[in-house]
Structure 1
Amino acid sequence: MDRKRIYNPSSNETLTERRVFNGNPHGILNFTKAKYQWALKLWDLMEANTWFPKEVDTTDDVRCYAHELTQAEKRMYDLVWSQLISMDSFQTNNLADNINPYITAPEINAVLSRQAYEEANHSKSYAVMVEAICDNTDLIYEMEKHDDVLREKNDYISSVYAELAGEVTDEKLLLAMVANQILEGVYFYSGFTAIYSLARAGKMLGSAQMIRFIQRDEITHLLLFQNMINSVRTERPDLFTPEMEAKIYDMFKKAGELEIKWGKYITQNQIMGFTDDIIEQYIQYLIDQRLVAIGLKRLYNVAHPIKWVDDFAKFNDQKSNFFEAKVTNYSKGSISFDDF
């Protein structure tokens, strides 16, 4: 598969001929003519939810980190930011370098570009939090050099993306979309929930508010890749062979193992309401939700074990179920839709 041409005036591709990849795009972005209406809705939603890290007041978190967190909580807090910093750093580059160059629908190109900006904005938010609150900023940004468990997780995530550095095939690009769905819908969640567990105990409330902003973005990113995968399923059903589906299930299983290991590692059974058993069941629940969203079967058939997390993820009058990836209303916008 070749990278798409930036400008291709000889293209006669019609809207009905447009494809997620392997199309023949003109290179002109026209928001009034789009095949993938879900991409336009996502663009409007992401635009309506624009936010900046300076909107979050972290003053009380500085005091809380220094005087109220236990050593176990402080360790967990530092490790969470190290992991989130790594993943958003990966994603900012991955979207621009490995994914978008091969996507041939201009409206999807636009949303991927918007996502890349949001991932960088998340990195800015982490810098705000870490610089203001944590004891050792440099250590947090270089934690993977010192922590084997973090390094294992980062190495695996980056290795999946690195496969695109060679010859790109239809199958590889589909698996890269799945890898992005996993990152947006599984890998972030131990970290998110760890911060919410502190807020549930009345601690680090500013940090929890920052996570709400970030998670609100991540759900749109998850919806983006779920819709990309489902659109490819419609356009290229030949790609969804039993062998391909087996690879996808294996990717989810491996991701689940890593995220469960990470969640147990950062909490060490010392965080109230966030035990090893809960972490395992929670990640398995998320994996089942993500699989169903792309037309596959559940692996674990478990219930959501910590529904209190849903309340912490809510945003003012926002009514959403982040874990089923269904958005009905957002506090900064009036857009309402259920077709995701």
Structure 2
Amino acid sequence: MQDTLLKKAKTMEPRFPNQTSKVFGGESSGILNWNDIKYPHWYKMYKRLVGNYWQADEINMSSDVKQFPMLTEAEQDAYLKIIGLLSTLDAPQTRTALLLSLYATDPSVQSIMAVIAQQEAVHNESYSYVLSSVVSLKEQDEAFQLGRKDSVLLKRNERLIAGYNQFVEDPSVGNILKTLVYTSLLEGLFFYSGFAFFYNLARDHKMVGTSTMISYINRDELEHGRFISELFRATLAEYPEYNTEAFIDWVYHEFRLSVDLESEWSAYVLKDVDGIDLEEMQGYIKYRANKMLRMLGLSEIYPDHTENPMKWIRAYVDNFDGTKTDFFEQKSRQYTKTSDLNGFDDL
């Protein structure tokens, strides 16, 4: 099958209807009427995303500044390496979200991806913010260099980087679908051993400011992962010729490789950290993979890991619902602004 090459969506095309014919490669005027979009429930996703607004400097880091020198050497090392990892992954997400929006012919997708891009920019700023609070400029720079120099991290990110760059060079339907798979892996799997490290510190009353910030990022990523999986399913439904056994096998293959790479990374960065059971962590990574596959509309590949083996993480953020307040009472983990969603007919 010949891959369909996509062109960038035109800003305005009045001869086409407002409601797009396809999310990518379709026909649309470019005018966004939230009462007339192809997938109406995406308005609720948009409202949840914009309700998650926050800023890094809202978080009080004064206790973390005092506590960081008292962390063990292993904890300090893991802290810096994981911040380096997270910054390496979040920085390209801003650009990738914007690139996806350039080829989206659904204006609702363009708007949602704009919000996601803004949130990824905030995430990346937050890593600079926490590091500037606890370490010197030299140590900050070293942490941000890890994505270019650390061999384990380079190996872990190699396939993701290649996939993203392939989309830039060849913006086809096939590469859009693959980019959505890699984005789903990044948003729903690749961050999670890092998140668990900071939540583990917070369990011991350590670095609670950093943990609070991470929970905000975690919540955003859950919403991003949810929308990306919906976008994947919609695109695959609109281009059924890509829904082949070979492509689905490719998705499962990428998930298995990613689980192996994430497990290798977590063993490397967390091996000397007290309170983290590496076998339990590997089970958690497989549990997350199963969860993301279900969201993509696919089958689980790890039948022995359908339950979360690290249930203590739920005290921070591991779901979409409910108010999660950490037991330090620093700040509610549920930071979404409260407002009732209007019905589409009431906009």
Given that 1:45 and 1:335 are in contact with CA atoms closer than 8 Å, whether structure 2 keeps it comes out as no
Q: Deviations over 1:76-124 (max 9, x none)?
A: 1001100011111011111213x22211110011000110000001111
Aligned residues: 324
SS in structure 1 at match of 2:301? coil
Go from structure 1 to structure 2 and tell me whether the alpha carbon gap of 1:31 and 1:235 turns closer, same or farther (over 3 Å shift).
Answer: same
Matched letter for residue 318 of structure 1: G
Counterpart CA distance in 2 for 1:9 and 1:22 is 13
2:157 to 149, 154, 159: 154
SS in structure 1 at match of 2:338? coil
Counterpart CA distance in 1 for 2:153 and 2:46 is 33
SS in structure 2 at match of 1:313? coil
Aligned to 1:324: none
Given that 1:38 and 1:227 are in contact with CA atoms closer than 8 Å, whether structure 2 keeps it comes out as no
Q: Deviations over 1:267-301 (max 9, x none)?
A: 11x22332221121110010011111122111112
Aligned to 1:247: 250
Counterpart CA distance in 2 for 1:26 and 1:232 is 19
SS in structure 2 at match of 1:142? helix
Counterpart CA distance in 2 for 1:73 and 1:336 is 42
Q: Deviations over 1:135-164 (max 9, x none)?
A: 411101112343211122233321110111
Matched, 1:128 2:94: no
Aligned to 1:333: 338
TM-score, length of structure 1 as denominator length: 0.89
Matched, 1:93 2:95: yes
After superposition, residues 63-212 of structure 1 pair within 5 angstroms as 63-67=66-70, 69-97=71-99, 99-135=100-136, 136-212=139-215
After superposition, residues 180-329 of structure 1 pair within 5 angstroms as 180-268=183-271, 270-301=272-303, 302=305, 303-313=307-317, 318-319=322-323
Matched letter for residue 115 of structure 1: I
SS in structure 1 at match of 2:17? coil
- How far residue 49 of structure 1 moved from its aligned partner, in angstroms, is 1.5
SS in structure 1 at match of 2:30? coil
Counterpart CA distance in 1 for 2:252 and 2:157 is 20
- How far residue 313 of structure 1 moved from its aligned partner, in angstroms, is 1.8
Matched, 1:11 2:15: yes
Go from structure 1 to structure 2 and tell me whether the alpha carbon gap of 1:9 and 1:90 turns closer, same or farther (over 3 Å shift).
Answer: closer
Counterpart CA distance in 2 for 1:253 and 1:208 is 29
- How far residue 8 of structure 1 moved from its aligned partner, in angstroms, is 3.7
- How far residue 189 of structure 1 moved from its aligned partner, in angstroms, is 0.7
Counterpart CA distance in 2 for 1:229 and 1:199 is 35
Go from structure 1 to structure 2 and tell me whether the alpha carbon gap of 1:289 and 1:114 turns closer, same or farther (over 3 Å shift).
Answer: same
Percent sequence identity over aligned pairs: 27
Moved more, 55-64 or 145-154: 145-154
Aligned to 2:330: none
Q: Deviations over 1:194-230 (max 9, x none)?
A: 1101111111100000011111111110111011112
Go from structure 1 to structure 2 and tell me whether the alpha carbon gap of 1:103 and 1:5 turns closer, same or farther (over 3 Å shift).
Answer: closer
Question: What is the Cα-based RMSD across aligned positions, in Å?
Answer: 2.1
SS in structure 1 at match of 2:41? helix
TM-score, length of structure 2 as denominator length: 0.88
Counterpart CA distance in 2 for 1:127 and 1:318 is 29
- How far residue 71 of structure 1 moved from its aligned partner, in angstroms, is 0.6
